[in-house]
Structure 1
Amino acid sequence: MIPVYKKTASTSRVAMGKPAVKKPVTPKPPSPTTAIDIEKYRTNNTQLTDLKKQYGLDYSRNFAQQQAQAMADAKRTGLNTQMKQVNENVNGANDALSRNNFQQYMNQAQSQVGAGINGGMQADQNMRLAMSRQAAMGNIYRDAATQKSNISANMANVGKEQVAEENRIYNERLQEAFQNAMADTQARRSENMNLLGAAQQQRSQNINMDQWQKQFAEQQKNTKWSQDFSQKNTAFDQKMALDQFNEQKKNVSWDQSFQQTQYADNKQWREFQYNNMSASEKAQLEWAKQQYGEDAAWRDYELKYNGELMKGQYQAELDAYSGSALDFLP
């Protein structure tokens, strides 16, 4: 007989070339009483890269270079503006002197014509006027040259100042970065310590709750055992009590039956004895009934009656013994 294999989902997938789908394994959650991993709450020191990543603070050399470069460019721009202003002042002074000198020349020419001054004196006056202008321009050029020299010297020092400013900015920001890193490290360490304390407190509460649950379960177990034991003992006690009650009932019934039988026998015996009494015995019995009651009177009579029977029995045995003892005599 050829075996027939049942087609399943896994065999059909393999036959079709598809791998069997594995169910995702759900990780088991940790026990609430598991020891706390302190490494999770360890605080690493804050680095410069952390400050830049978290807060956007750049404490690199490149940032200091950019700041120093911006300050140097601003200073150069200012010096160039001053240089330009000096040139403009020179040009303005030159233009003002030229206009002033031209006006003086025109006034001087009119005066010369009116005074009838000859050509030699005119030339001399004109020469003096021109020399006065040149002297004024010389002072302006001299001051301008001094200003340009100072500006050029300052311009030359901008590069050195830029390097110094770069180092100053970089060192100051390094100090600031160190303080910020320490503050951030301390803040995160404090936060981690608080989280660790909370986790430890929660674990302590979980341990207490777990112990309480176990103790409660044990108490429940003991209580159930005690209840079962008590129920068994109660059932046993009830059975014993019922057996004792039945036994007592049985004994009471037997006693009642015995007493009834005995009472019937006593009644018959008393009737028999009373019928066979003499008149004096009946009188004594009636007297005893009046003095002590009927039962006491009959018990007293029965005691005396039994005593007489025993006395008669003893006497008969004595007579029999005495007669047999003389049989050996001739």
Structure 2
Amino acid sequence: MLCLYNDLVLHKDIETHLMTMDIKIHDYYVPLLENVATALQRGLTESFAEVLVRVEDCPDLTKAPFYLAAEGLSGSARICDVGGVPYLIPVARPEKRYNYEEIALLAGVPDGFFVGAGAGPCHVIGTNSELMPNIKCGGNSGNLTKNKTYYARIREDGSHLVEKVPHGSADFSLMGNVFLSEGKPGKVLHLHLKKRTGPDNLTTSIRKILLKEFGPDRPVGLGGVFLITKGKAKLHIMPGFSKDPLTNNEDVEKWLHFFEFSAPLICLSVMSSYDSGWDLRIDHTHCFSTHGAGGHYHNDTTPEETEYDCWFNVAEKMVRIDQPKETHQIGRD
């Protein structure tokens, strides 16, 4: 099922502009970075053989090996959770269109910097896809928007394509889970991890530690970028929208296309320690690379070899936009 500009008729009652959508802003608990670092240093030793967690100045993320659209992860930090999986599953709703520049305005950071994961703009790309949002908005500063976003899609022959989003589009469809900040330099968490020994992937391990440390009454949001510098990882890429309803996780698994990609991978990640009734994508990570690999991160597949280099900041607020009225837990791995 393709989603082309001329193939989709939008009726008057369809919400096409973000200003008409429901927006709720919630406060995260904001711990000191040093306290988070202490908890992660202690907790991650149960999942990795070598762990080093420190609070450091953020490196310039516009440079190699990151290739991001802004220098840092500081200033008005928040997580934006837009739309949701129920707009994809069981039946896709391609009329659900959004725009990151509008999200930045609504979230109160008009010149904001987004990194994270979501679904690509099907009306721009021509089909369903994975999106790796990486965009610094111009906002009210008079600067041009700097868009370094990639997407990944499945070709008709089943092969994959990873490239920059066409026309510099800031649009996306269905859902977006992103860390938003002013993109300023500042102190961040730096995690260097080697040899995974536990069953959980990186983000699940971090979430569980944060929940144990701070509890469900003090939800913590975290976002940023991590590099898989050695080893391989399991990623998926969504194909075109399913013609048949996807009614359970088994249906979703059969529909997705899975790949094993080699390092280096640049992974844009967002996570919350606990969902306080906000119907969140509790964690979501999409990866891209300079060698044609990319998609939705599941886990590394070479635990003895894999190394992670991570740069995260804590979020102050959760901005929940266009939360689905009917929800489920299918397809959220």
TM-score of the pair, normalised by structure 2: 0.11
TM-score of the pair, normalised by structure 1: 0.11
> Which structure has the bigger radius of gyration?
1
Q: Which has the higher helix share?
A: 1
